[in-house]
């Protein structure tokens, strides 16, 4: 089913309602029991709580009617991939609680995230709720981005004093961690900055959102044999980045593969979010 701009606005309202209601529940909750999933190599990919599942239930209750009405597929983190994303023209891509580790620790860095993605992998809608700041971010492809329903824009060329680098905790255990950090320091120096600040406290969604509020900045995941984050970790923020004129690509500078046929993981090409093209180009050379 082809979606008109009016359809996208309608679906965006459903997504905003879903992330807001689920996010407000998350903001008031604490994990009752921490469990472990079979998939994923990092601790962040393995842990799940009752709150993840409660959030998913809230979201699906709200989005459920749209699936039949608009002939949508569905991909959500805590349920089996039924393959509908590969046959429908568009599918909901849901992360009911991204950043479960900081949530468990009672620290900032977690969020509820929903995207509507076209079969060819284009992010058409992105909606994110930050429970710590009670903030809603959303974007519709071709129609701009909003923050708490107010028009939102950034200046990708804005230069602060330092280069802000966001990365997942797994980055700290990479064998080449020191080499990469040294290279990032050279990038900061070449850009006339005083140095760099490394932040590894958040989940993928809030790490990407941090790039949009700490300029100049970047968030990246190099290609790895397995894992590397999943489609639901990056789809909503990719829509925001596209509408704000920032960079959301794989590590080669190509379009993000947000409907990969053979897996839901993004390990094959990695991801790169950056505040501007110059910074993205420099990071790709490391």
- Long-range Cβ contact pairs of 256-259 (< 8 A, separation 24 or more): 256/121, 256/123, 257/121, 258/93, 258/115, 258/117, 258/121, 258/122, 258/123, 258/231, 258/234, 259/85, 259/86, 259/91, 259/117, 259/118, 259/119, 259/120, 259/121, 259/231
Architecture of domain 5-152: 2-Layer Sandwich (3.30)
Burial class (CB in 10 A: 0-12, 13-18, 19+), 104: middle
Please name the residues in contact with 231: beta carbons below 8 A apart, sequence gap of 6 or more: 75, 93, 117, 258, 259, 260, 264, 266
CA nearest to 237, candidates 85, 151, 130, 102: 130
What are 41-80's pLDDT values in tens digits?
544 454 568 899 999 999 999 999 999 999 999 999 989 9
Domains 5-152 and 163-284 share a fold: no
Q: In the prediction, which pLDDT does 43 show? A: 42
Q: In the prediction, which pLDDT does 33 show? A: 61
Strongest mean pLDDT among 12-21, 27-36, 48-57, 151-160 = 12-21
| pLDDT beyond 60 at 38 | no
Q: In the prediction, which pLDDT does 39 show? A: 52
Taking residues 85-98, what's their average pLDDT? 98
Q: How confident is the model at residue 252 (pLDDT cuts 50, 70, 90)?
A: very high
Domain assignments of the chain as residue spans, ordered by start: 5-152, 163-284
CA nearest to 17, candidates 118, 127, 153, 171: 127
End-to-end distance of the chain based on CA atoms, in angstroms?
A: 42
| pTM, two decimal places | 0.93
Judge: domain 163-284, CATH 3.40.640.10: no
């Amino acid at each position: 089913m082809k979606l008109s701009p009016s359809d996208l606005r309608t679906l965006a309202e459903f997504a905003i309602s879903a992330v807001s209601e689920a996010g407000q529940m998350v903001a008031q909750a604490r994990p009752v029991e921490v469990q472990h999933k079979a998939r994923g190599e990092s601790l962040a990919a393995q842990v799940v709580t009752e709150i993840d599942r409660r959030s998913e239930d809230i979201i699906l209750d709200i989005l459920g009617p749209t699936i039949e009405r608009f002939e949508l597929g569905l991909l959500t983190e805590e349920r089996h991939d039924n393959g509908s994303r590969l046959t429908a023209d568009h599918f909901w891509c849901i992360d009911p609680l991204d950043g479960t580790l900081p949530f468990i620790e009672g620290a900032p860095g977690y969020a509820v995230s929903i995207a509507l993605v076209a079969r060819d992998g284009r992010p058409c809608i992105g909606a994110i709720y930050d429970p710590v700041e009670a903030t809603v971010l959303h974007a519709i492809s071709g129609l701009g981005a909003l923050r708490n329903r107010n028009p939102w824009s950034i200046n990708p060329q804005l230069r602060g004093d330092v280069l802000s680098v966001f990365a997942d905790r797994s980055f700290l255990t990479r064998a080449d961690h020191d080499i990469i950090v040294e290279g990032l320091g050279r990038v900061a120096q070449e850009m006339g900055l005083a140095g760099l600040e490394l932040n590894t406290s958040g989940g993928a969604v809030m790490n990407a959102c941090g790039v949009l509020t700490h300029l100049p900045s970047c968030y990246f995941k190099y290609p790895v044999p397995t894992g590397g984050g999943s489609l639901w970790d990056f789809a909503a923020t990719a829509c925001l980045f596209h509408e704000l004129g920032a960079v959301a690509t794989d590590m080669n500078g190509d379009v993000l593969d947000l409907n990969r046929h053979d897996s839901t993981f993004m390990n094959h090409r990695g991801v790169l979010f950056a505040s501007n093209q110059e910074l993205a180009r420099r990071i790709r050379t490391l």
